[in-house]
Structure 1
C-alpha cells in the first residue's frame, strides 16, 4: 500500500524528529518546575482554561477515534457517523464542564482528593472503596492504552511499509517517548504538550477532511456516490442519509463515547487541576469547539471510507480490505483512505496528527494509572512515604503500565474499538453513578457505590467472555443471541458499555434510598465547599 517516494519519507522523518525534540524539551522544561506530588499529579491545581480545554480534548480523542472508530462506524453508518462527533462535543465536552466541572474542582480541592479513588474514599468515608476503584482504574486503563498503540502501529505501518514486525517497533518507540516526557514533568508536561498537540490536531483534521471530500468531487457528489453503495443489509440510499442505516445502534455509540467521559478518571481529573471558575466557563467553550472540529471531522471523514475501500478485489481504484472472522478489518480502512486521498507530501502531517492525538491520550492514561496505584494503593500501606519517594514510585509504575500495555497491543487479534469499548464500559459503568451523584446527592451511599462497581464490572467481564473471546463453551449462547435478531446488537461491546453506564445512573439513587449514607459530618464537610463558594 505504500508508494511514498524517498523524498516524502525523508520529509516525514524530519517532521517526526522535530516533533519528538519539542516533546522532550517540554518535558525537560517542566521537570524543573515539578517539585511535589501535587505538581506532578495536578499541576499545582493552577492550570488555566486553554491548557485545561486542550488537555481535555486531546485526552478524549486519539488514534482510537481517528483510526479505529472513524473507520468502523464510517463503514457501518456512513455520514450519519458524524452524529457521534456531535454527541462528543455536546454531551462529552460542553455539558460536563458546566454540570460537574465547578463541583468537582471545589469538592476535590476541599477534601484533598488528588485521584478519583481518593475522592470515593473521602466523599463516602471508605478505604475499601478507594482500594477497589484503584484496582479497577489500573486494570481497565490498560486495554485502552493498548488500543491507542494499535492505532499508531496501523498508521506507521502504512506510511513506512515496516513489514510484519514493524508495528511492534513503533509501539515500543511510542511507549518510550510518552514515558520520557511524563516521567520528567508529570501533569505540567502533559498539559503543555497537549496544547501544542491540539493545535496540530486542529490543522491536520481540517486538512484531511477537506482533501477527502475534494478527491470525490465535493460533498454533494460524494454523498450521491455513497447512496449508490449498499449498506451491510443490502439497502441503498442509507449511507448518505441523515440518520443512516441503523439509528438505534448508532445511538449506543453516541452514548458510550459521550456519556462515558463523565465517569472516566483521566477525564474528570482535568477539573481537579483547573485554576478557577472563570477558567471552567472559558474551557467549556474552547473544549466544545475543539471536539466539534476533531471528533466531528474524524467521524465525518470516516463516513466516506466506502468510497475508498471495498471488500471485493479489483473494485475500481478502491483499496481491498481483508476480513477476519467474517468481519472487515476496520482498523485498516482510514489508513487506506488517507493513502488514496492525500498527496504523499502531506502524509507526514497526518502521521504527526495521529501521533499528537495518541501521545496526548497516552500521557494522561499513564499518569492517571501510576498516580492512582501509588497514591491510593501503595502510600496508605507504607510508613514514612515521603513526597520524593512517592514521585519516584509513580515514575516506576509509569514504566510498568506501559510495558503491560505494549504486550497487549502487540496482539493484533483484538480490534481498536473492542479494546476501547471494554475499557470505557468497565470504568464509566462502575464509576459514573457514584461520582456524579456523589457531587449532587447527600444521600448517596457507600452500598450504592459498591452496587455500581459490581454491576459495571460484571456486565463488562461477562460480555467479554461470552461474546468477544471466542470461547468454544459459549458458542451456543452467541448463536442464540444472533438468532434472536434483536434490532439492538447485543454482541456489541459498545452497547454493553452504554448499558452499564445507564444502569449505573439508575442503580445509585435506588440503592441509596434504602441504605445508609456516610456519617453526617463527612457529607456536610464535602458539601460545605459548594455552599461556601456561592
Structure 2
C-alpha cells in the first residue's frame, strides 16, 4: 500500500507543478485554447494519443470486447493505429492546420460557422459538443474509479471527486499547454505501463504459449456457435461483423471528434506534422493494440466477481485480471490508467468550456466580451462541466462502452462528414451540413429509446457512414455557397504549403 500511495503522490505532484509552470502560457485566449499554435510534434502526437485512449479503452472496451471476441479484439487496436491515427493525420492534419489558421478558427464550431458562413450552425455545433461530451466524461470516471476501488478499497464516489478536482486544477491553471505537457508525461507512463502489465499477466498464466492454449480450449457461448472451441484465438474471432463495427466506431470516429481534431489546430509546422504522424501511430499501436491484446485473455480469469446474475460485468474484467498482481505492479497499473484518463478528461473539459464560451456565449448571449472575461468564463465552465459529469458518473446509466458509444456516435456522426468534405470540397452546402447534424444525432438518440440496433456502438458506426453518404447527396440538390466566398476560403491552399515550409525554416520544430 505504501508503494502505491508514493506513486500516486509523486504523480499528482508532477501534474500540479506542470499546471503552475504553464500559467505563463495561458495569459490570453489563443494561448489558453491553442497553446499559441506553436506546439511541437512530440507534444502534439502524445496529446492526440492520450486523448484517444483512456480508462474507457483500457477498462471498458478492452474488457468487454476482449471477452466477446478473444484475441481478435487486437484488430480494434490495429485499426485505431492505422485508421484512427496514421490515416487521420495524413488526411486531416495539414489541411486542418492551414484552413483553421486562415479562418482564424479556434474550435470546431467556429470552423463550421466560418467555413459555411452560418452563425446558427456555429451555435448548434457548440450545443451538440457540450451535451454529448458529458456521457464520455462520465464513462472515464467510471472506469478509473473501479481500478481505484480494487487497488485501494476507496469508495467509488471519492475516486470520482478526487480525480475531477485534480484534473480541473491543472487545466484551469495552465490551459492547453498544461494539458499538452502533462499528456507527454502521461504518455510515457502509459507506454511503459502497458508493456509491464501484459508481461506480468501472461506470466501469471504460465507464459504466452500456455495462455494461448488455455484460451483456445474455452468454448464459445454465442448462440450462433455455442460450444465451439478455438474461436477466441482465431484470426477474426466468433463475431467478425460486430467486430468490424467496433473498429469503425473507435477508429473512424476520431476524425469527427472535436477534442481530437483540436490537436491539429495547434501543431507548429509542416515538419512537425510529419514527425507527429509517425509518433502518434506508434503510440496508438502499442497502447491500443496492447490493451485489446490483454483483454483478449479475459476469459481465463472468469470468476463470480465479474458476474451479476446471468450477466457479465464487463467493467470488472480488467480490474479482476489485475487484482492478483504484486502491489508495486498494481500501483503502476493505477498510474497508467490514471494517466490515460486524466489526459482525456483534460482535453474534454477544455474543448467543452472553450466551445461554449467562444462559440455560444461570445457574440450572442454576451456581446463584446473582452479577452479577460473570456478566460474567466472558460475557467468557470470547466468547473461546471466537471460537476455535471461527476453527477452523471456517480449514477451511470449503463456500461462504460455504451456511454462512450453514445457520445462518439453522436459527435462523429454529426461532424465527421461535413468536416472532412469541408476541408477538401468546394461543393459542400449549408443544407448538407445541417442534414449531417440531424442524421448523426437522430440515429444515436433514437436508438437510445427504440433500440432498433442492439449495440449503441454499431449505431454510432452507422451514423458516421450515413453522414458520409448524406452530405454529398444533399449537396447535389441544395443551394451552393457563393463562388467568391468559397474561393476566399480555399485560397489558403494556394500558398498554405509554402507558408508551412517558411515557418519550418524560420523556427525549428520544438518538442
Q: TM-score range by the shorter chain?
A: over 0.9
Whether the 8 Å contact between 2:256 and 2:415 is mirrored in structure 1 is: yes
Match of 2:153 among 157, 161, 167: 161
1:180 maps to what in 2? 169
2:506 maps to what in 1? none
1:378 aligns with 2:361: yes
Task: Please give the alpha-carbon distance, in whole angstroms, between the structure 2 residues aligned to 1:384 and 1:526.
Answer: 25
Task: Please give the alpha-carbon distance, in whole angstroms, between the structure 2 residues aligned to 1:182 and 1:331.
Answer: 28
Q: How far is the alpha carbon of 1:327 from its aligned partner? A: 2.5
Task: Please give the alpha-carbon distance, in whole angstroms, between the structure 2 residues aligned to 1:414 and 1:408.
Answer: 11
Whether the 8 Å contact between 1:434 and 1:508 is mirrored in structure 2 is: yes
Match of 2:307 among 322, 330, 334: 322
Aligned length: 492
Q: How far is the alpha carbon of 1:384 from its aligned partner? A: 2.9
Query: How do 1:470-509 residues align onto structure 2 when only pairs under 5 Å count?
Result: 490-509=453-472
Match of 2:372 among 388, 394, 397: 388
Task: Please give the alpha-carbon distance, in whole angstroms, between the structure 2 residues aligned to 1:363 and 1:533.
Answer: 31
Task: Please give the alpha-carbon distance, in whole angstroms, between the structure 2 residues aligned to 1:520 and 1:512.
Answer: 15
1:409 aligns with 2:398: no
Q: How far is the alpha carbon of 1:517 from its aligned partner? A: 2.3
1:277 maps to what in 2? 270
Whether the 8 Å contact between 1:123 and 1:522 is mirrored in structure 2 is: no
2:327 maps to what in 1? 344
Deviations 1:319-342 (A, max 9, x none): x32226x431100000000113x2
Task: Please give the alpha-carbon distance, in whole angstroms, between the structure 2 residues aligned to 1:230 and 1:323.
Answer: 20
Task: Please give the alpha-carbon distance, in whole angstroms, between the structure 2 residues aligned to 1:101 and 1:532.
Answer: 16
Whether the 8 Å contact between 1:86 and 1:296 is mirrored in structure 2 is: yes
Task: Please give the alpha-carbon distance, in whole angstroms, between the structure 2 residues aligned to 1:464 and 1:169.
Answer: 29
1:102 aligns with 2:82: no
Whether the 8 Å contact between 1:138 and 1:373 is mirrored in structure 2 is: yes
Task: Please give the alpha-carbon distance, in whole angstroms, between the structure 1 residues aligned to 2:17 and 2:160.
Answer: 21
1:207 maps to what in 2? 196
Match of 1:79 among 71, 83, 97: 71
Task: Please give the alpha-carbon distance, in whole angstroms, between the structure 1 residues aligned to 2:387 and 2:485.
Answer: 39
Task: Please give the alpha-carbon distance, in whole angstroms, between the structure 1 residues aligned to 2:27 and 2:306.
Answer: 51
SS in 2 for 1:290: helix
Q: How far is the alpha carbon of 1:242 from its aligned partner? A: 1.1
Whether the 8 Å contact between 2:4 and 2:327 is mirrored in structure 1 is: no
2:117 maps to what in 1? 125
SS in 2 for 1:533: helix
1:476 maps to what in 2? none
Out of 524-533 and 44-53, give the one that drifted further.
524-533
Task: Please give the alpha-carbon distance, in whole angstroms, between the structure 2 residues aligned to 1:426 and 1:383.
Answer: 30
Whether the 8 Å contact between 1:42 and 1:187 is mirrored in structure 2 is: yes
Task: Please give the alpha-carbon distance, in whole angstroms, between the structure 1 residues aligned to 2:153 and 2:239.
Answer: 36
TM-score if structure 1 supplies the norm length?
0.91
Query: How do 1:235-246 residues align onto structure 2 when only pairs under 5 Å count?
Result: 235-246=228-239
Task: Please give the alpha-carbon distance, in whole angstroms, between the structure 1 residues aligned to 2:449 and 2:367.
Answer: 40
Alignment RMSD (CA, Å)? 1.0
SS in 2 for 1:349: helix
Out of 229-238 and 328-337, give the one that drifted further.
229-238
Whether the 8 Å contact between 1:124 and 1:522 is mirrored in structure 2 is: no
Whether the 8 Å contact between 1:263 and 1:428 is mirrored in structure 2 is: yes
SS in 2 for 1:244: coil
2:160 maps to what in 1? 171
Whether the 8 Å contact between 2:137 and 2:348 is mirrored in structure 1 is: yes
Match of 1:192 among 164, 181, 193: 181
1:527 maps to what in 2? 490
Q: How far is the alpha carbon of 1:516 from its aligned partner? A: 1.7
SS in 1 for 2:279: helix
1:447 aligns with 2:436: no
1:31 aligns with 2:23: yes
Q: How far is the alpha carbon of 1:82 from its aligned partner? A: 0.2
Whether the 8 Å contact between 2:3 and 2:327 is mirrored in structure 1 is: no
Task: Please give the alpha-carbon distance, in whole angstroms, between the structure 2 residues aligned to 1:247 and 1:154.
Answer: 29
Instruction: Give ranges in structure 2 of 5+ residues lacking alignment.
Output: 498-511
1:286 aligns with 2:279: yes
Task: Please give the alpha-carbon distance, in whole angstroms, between the structure 2 residues aligned to 1:323 and 1:347.
Answer: 25
Match of 1:222 among 211, 218, 229: 211
Instruction: Give ranges in structure 1 of 5+ residues lacking alignment.
Output: 1-8, 314-319, 468-480, 482-489
Whether the 8 Å contact between 1:448 and 1:512 is mirrored in structure 2 is: yes
Deviations 1:496-527 (A, max 9, x none): 00000000111111111111222223211221
Q: How far is the alpha carbon of 1:220 from its aligned partner? A: 2.1
1:424 aligns with 2:441: no
Q: How far is the alpha carbon of 1:221 from its aligned partner? A: 1.7
Query: How do 1:305-316 residues align onto structure 2 when only pairs under 5 Å count?
Result: 305-310=298-303, 313=304
Q: How far is the alpha carbon of 1:33 from its aligned partner? A: 2.4
